[in-house]
Chain A
Amino acid sequence: MSGGLLLLATLGTSLLTAVLIFLLPERAFRARTGLNLGAALIKLSLVAWMVWGLSRGRGYAVEFPVLEGLAFVLRADALGIMFAGLSSLLWLFTTVYAIGYLEDSPNRKRFFGFFSLCVASTLGISLAGNLFTFLVFYELLTLSTYPLVVHRGTSKALAAGKVYLRFTLTAGLVLMIGMVALHVLAGDIRFGQREILAEFGPEDRLLLVGLFWVLIAGFGVKAALVPLHGWLPRAMVAPAPVSALLHAVAVVKAGAFGIVRLVYDVYGIELSAELGLLYGLVAVASVTILFGSLRALAQQELKPRLAYSTVSQVAYIVLGIGLFGPLGTIAALSHLLHQGLMKITLFFCAGNYAEELGIHRIDELDGAGRRMPLTSLAFSVGALGMIGVPPVVGFLSKWYLGTGAIQAGMPWVIAVLVASSLLNAAYFLPILGRLWFRPGPDHGVGAWPEERCLGRLETHAWLLVPTLATALFSLLAGMLAGMPFSPLEWASRVVNAEYLP
């Protein structure tokens, strides 16, 4: 299959799935499930094919003009395919999870339709070859996640959706203005054409700095950088798979990925460092990391705590971007994947507790480790990873961030990292303590809020399997980080191939 066709086929798989799901009647549960899983598998294998091809030096690109001097460009480069791989892999798990989670609930057709649309947008974001194409899919992502956020249709969900839209659409607009202005200034910049902006003279530098921050403001909303993070905790009312999606794969990652693209592929890291933009990024990221952790500490419910944890964790990516040097870059790129694996595990677990036992508050978790050992194990893996305990992948991110900070000449960042680790420990370890070491209803103390006993295992197999799989992946990705095609190895490959002279 030729390069461009393969790209279009990958993108088309999800789009077509969305259309087909909308065409299927609401009752067609089996067909929809088969379609979902089949598409997810096909997409995963197509992406794997491209990964393999890329590693052998093949190129995949397709483009056509939309306007004079502006093209719609899809191109698979190492960085993009990395994100595509993450989204395709996690997509499979999320789909499986969602099928189990939404069993017997209304509006499944709508849910899965937009779900597929959402994955198509994420894939588009990862394969976009210039800012225009990126923006197209970025906004499409916003639109396709809105019905998912308000899926429950309660007034709380609708209010959250309103906040979500306010933040994201305004940001999209800001982003668009920034992109248009950049386009006016420099024309259509393909990702990787770093020399275009680098050649601007000193008189345009101020303008470039200004545009950079406009664009960062646009991306920062989705990446939930403080103070633009307000939508994220509120969007927690969505069903668990959607939260997992928002936090781990699609939305926040799209923002972070945008910043990655902006810094590495549009401005170029050298120019960014020269313009002094990276200090600002590091400062913003540091504030976000600490603020997110502090706010997480104050939460009494599981999902909001995880949400604020996301705020904090995604800022690690931005922090890594801000650390000038290959190690910082590796940290940023690999954390993009690592955080996805760990956070999705945590959200799956939170969903499992809520579905099986009706648990939403942290103090209801006492002794849940006995009732749901596997889920709790997965949760522990995720939480320890977030704290940065090896061999879970989170440690690797912290390692590269820390060493990258030294390389970039900012040792104080280590203090931020350690403080964040301690705060992470302060809000995750009590949960683990409750799970494993407190007596709970299964020890004869109290009762679960709403026990449902789904399935023969500790919960529904559709819910349990993806949870365990992502936990296992977070563990394996850490332990086997030196293996070829591990996230870390691929990130290093991207850095070596693209960002070092």
Chain B
Amino acid sequence: MSVPLDPSLSVEAAVLWLSLLAPLPLGLVAWRFPPRRMLPVLLAGAPLPLVTLWLLSRLAVDGGLEGAWSLGGLLLHWRLDALAGLLLLLTQLLLLASAAYAVGHRRAIAVAERDFAGFWPLLGGLAAALGLIWVAADLLTLYAALELMGLCAVGMMLLPGTAQALTAGMRYLLYALVGSLAWLLGVALLLGAWGRLDLAGLAADAEPGAVTGIAMALLAAGLLLKAAIFPLHGWLVPVHASAWTPVSALHGALVVKASFFILMQLWQRLVPEALAAAWLLGGLGSLAILWGGLQAWRASELKQVVAWSTVGQLGYLMLAFPLLAGTSAAVATLAWQATWLQLAGHALAKAAMFMAAGNLVLAVGQSRLGDLAGTSRWLPLSLMTFGIAAVTLMGLPPSAGFTAKWLLLQAAILAGQWPWVVVLVAGTLLTVAYVFRVLRCALVEDAPRREVRPVPGGMDLIALMLALAALALGLGAEWPLALLREGGLP
């Protein structure tokens, strides 16, 4: 029942779909037989990124892959371009890291295997949903994948079962559902107006106008709510603060970004010229940067700092909208690269940071910043990981954050949009403030020695690897960016 449009690409398409859907059975297997060591998890998951790498290499040769599934008269479109491929690779790496980390985490927090087993199918669902979002090329698939992702994410958030987690999860659930209804309303308007759901067709058919504008506004509102962009971020921090570390890491790194990705796809196709609205989105992003940074700076608990930092960092992505709207091709190319580099760098670094923070909290047994005193001596590796991840968040060289900031600044200056320069400066300074507030607490030497329970070494190592990957992406940015440039803007 599958009908790829171009049968000559069937091998790649088959491989792609296998790798997209493989996490589902893997999750189910893990549910039935929960893994106890990291190695099997890594081995089971390792083929996926390799496959994606292979696909990327094919893409570099053949250009994009695309096709459609026919489902009872319904055509579901998909395409794999460089951006989607790179995001897929990023997703798979992060999922793999989180899965391996989760094994260690379960042991460290001493949760019964049975209570933890629910994590695995949800993880599989999340992986499949994310993969679908990257490759989906019509609104229906996107809707289904978005909802699958949201529900899996909510489910994972609820796993700890504490009152705090349940309250936060409940709020997340309600807002996620309402957000998707807003999105659905926008889709309804688009469908009503243009009679089709596939992105390419919509981009070709849709003309800017009142209906498209309102539809985009509704869509955007729903997606912004799901992406936790200021001022709709209220649900994010409590959720992160109470969830298990691998879940927070995945959520902060990928889940919120997926909504942003969809918004960016639609915006670029449907209303690329809406200047004022794009500036409003940029303004919201700026406020997110400032507000998130401020809150992270004043937060009193480690995981809250990290969660607020996510709110702030998401704001950087929003700056892409004004920089892409109605600017010259040079600016647009710069902003386009900056955005995805920032997204990737932040995803890696944020996951690493959550893991490092989780390790610190686990080892110390306390989550307040003041209780971290002296950890630099007892937990050097975790702290180092935290620091390296923070380098990316602060946008200091040689990290992906730095390169992305360089591109953003370059785009902003080239376009003459000076407000974003000011915002970037302020955001960076706030980031520095909150990061070093944590490090400063950890470097205190004259605190009394406390009982430290070291976490399994693998957990630190995974976090370190992710942090280093974010760092390496800074100077090695040319490879993905060249692929992106070849793919071009939508």
Chain A contacts to B: CB under 8 angstroms: 22, 64-68, 70, 72, 106-107, 109-110, 132, 135-137, 139-140, 142-143, 146-147, 150, 152-155, 158, 161-162, 165, 169-170, 172-173, 176-177, 180-181, 183-184
**With A and B bound together, what is the CA distance between A132 and B403 in angstroms?**
10
Identify which of B162-170, B347-355, B407-415 touches chain A: B407-415
Q: Specify which chain A residues have a CB less than 8 angstroms from the CB of B414 in the assembled complex.
A: 184
Tally the A-B contacts, defined by beta carbons under 8 Å: 101
Question: Of B397, B425, B478, which one neighbours A67 at CB under 8 angstroms?
Answer: B478
Instruction: Beyond the given A64-B478, A173-B429, A176-B405, please list 16 additional residue pairs across the A-B interface where CB-CB is below 8 A.
Output: A22-B384, A65-B478, A66-B477, A68-B333, A106-B377, A107-B445, A135-B397, A136-B475, A140-B397, A143-B391, A153-B374, A153-B376, A153-B444, A165-B436, A169-B432, A181-B413
> Does B421 interact with chain A (Cβ within 8 Å)?
yes
Consensus secondary structure, chain B interface:
helix
Q: Specify which chain B residues have a CB less than 8 angstroms from the CB of A146 in the assembled complex.
A: 436, 439
Q: Which partner residue on chain B sits nearest A72 by CB separation?
A: B475
Question: Of B333, B405, B432, B482, which one neighbours A165 at CB under 8 angstroms?
Answer: B432
- Quick check: B413 and A180 within 8 Å, CB to CB? yes
11 examples of A-B residue contacts, CB within 8 angstroms: A106-B377, A140-B397, A147-B376, A152-B445, A153-B376, A153-B446, A154-B446, A162-B440, A165-B432, A169-B429, A180-B413
Task: State the 9 A-B residue pairs at the shortest beta-carbon distance, nearest first.
Answer: A153-B445, A136-B397, A180-B409, A65-B478, A139-B397, A139-B396, A184-B413, A136-B398, A184-B414
Q: Which partner residue on chain A sits nearest B481 by CB separation?
A: A67
Given contacts A106-B377, A147-B443, contact A68 B481 (CB under 8 A): yes
> Does B428 interact with chain A (Cβ within 8 Å)?
yes
- Quick check: B440 and A170 within 8 Å, CB to CB? no
Q: Which partner residue on chain B sits nearest A64 by CB separation?
A: B478
**With A and B bound together, what is the CA distance between A135 and B395 in angstroms?**
12
CB distance from B475 to the nearest CB of A (A): 6
Q: Which partner residue on chain A sits nearest B377 by CB separation?
A: A107
Q: Specify which chain A residues have a CB less than 8 angstroms from the CB of B396 in the assembled complex.
A: 139-140, 142-143, 169, 172
- Quick check: B413 and A158 within 8 Å, CB to CB? no
- Quick check: A176 and B409 within 8 Å, CB to CB? yes
- Quick check: A177 and B409 within 8 Å, CB to CB? yes
Question: Of A65, A140, A142, A177, which one neighbours B398 at CB under 8 angstroms?
Answer: A140
Given contacts A72-B475, A135-B397, A150-B443, contact A67 B403 (CB under 8 A): yes
**With A and B bound together, what is the CA distance between A155 and B439 in angstroms?**
13
**With A and B bound together, what is the CA distance between A180 and B337 in angstroms?**
16
Given contacts A110-B376, A172-B396, contact A161 B440 (CB under 8 A): yes
Q: Specify which chain B residues have a CB less than 8 angstroms from the CB of A142 in the assembled complex.
A: 396
> Does B192 interact with chain A (Cβ within 8 Å)?
no
**With A and B bound together, what is the CA distance between A139 and B398 in angstroms?**
8
- Quick check: B443 and A183 within 8 Å, CB to CB? no
Question: Of A68, A109, A137, A154, which one neighbours B445 at CB under 8 angstroms?
Answer: A154
Tell me the residues in window 357-389 of chain B with beta carbons closer than 8 Å to chain A beta carbons: 374, 376-377, 380, 384
**With A and B bound together, what is the CA distance between A266 and B384 in angstroms?**
36
> Does B143 interact with chain A (Cβ within 8 Å)?
no
Q: Specify which chain B residues have a CB less than 8 angstroms from the CB of A170 in the assembled complex.
A: 429
Q: Which partner residue on chain A sits nearest B412 by CB separation?
A: A180
For A109, A139, A172, A183, the residue with the greatest tally of chain B CB atoms inside 10 Å of its CB is: A139
**With A and B bound together, what is the CA distance between A154 and B447 in angstroms?**
9
Q: Specify which chain A residues have a CB less than 8 angstroms from the CB of B477 in the assembled complex.
A: 66-67
Tell me the residues in window 429-487 of chain B with beta carbons closer than 8 Å to chain A beta carbons: 429, 432, 436, 439-440, 443-446, 474-478, 481-482, 485
- Quick check: B429 and A66 within 8 Å, CB to CB? no
**With A and B bound together, what is the CA distance between A139 and B394 in angstroms?**
11
**With A and B bound together, what is the CA distance between A143 and B395 in angstroms?**
12
Question: Of A70, A110, A169, A177, which one neighbours B421 at CB under 8 angstroms?
Answer: A177
**With A and B bound together, what is the CA distance between A142 and B397 in angstroms?**
10
**With A and B bound together, what is the CA distance between A68 and B403 in angstroms?**
11
**With A and B bound together, what is the CA distance between A155 and B477 in angstroms?**
39
Question: Of A64, A152, A180, which one neighbours B410 at CB under 8 angstroms?
Answer: A180
Q: Specify which chain B residues have a CB less than 8 angstroms from the CB of A67 in the assembled complex.
A: 337, 403, 406-407, 477-478, 481
Q: Which partner residue on chain B sits nearest A22 by CB separation?
A: B384
Question: Of B394, B425, B432, B485, which one neighbours A177 at CB under 8 angstroms?
Answer: B425
- Quick check: B380 and A110 within 8 Å, CB to CB? yes
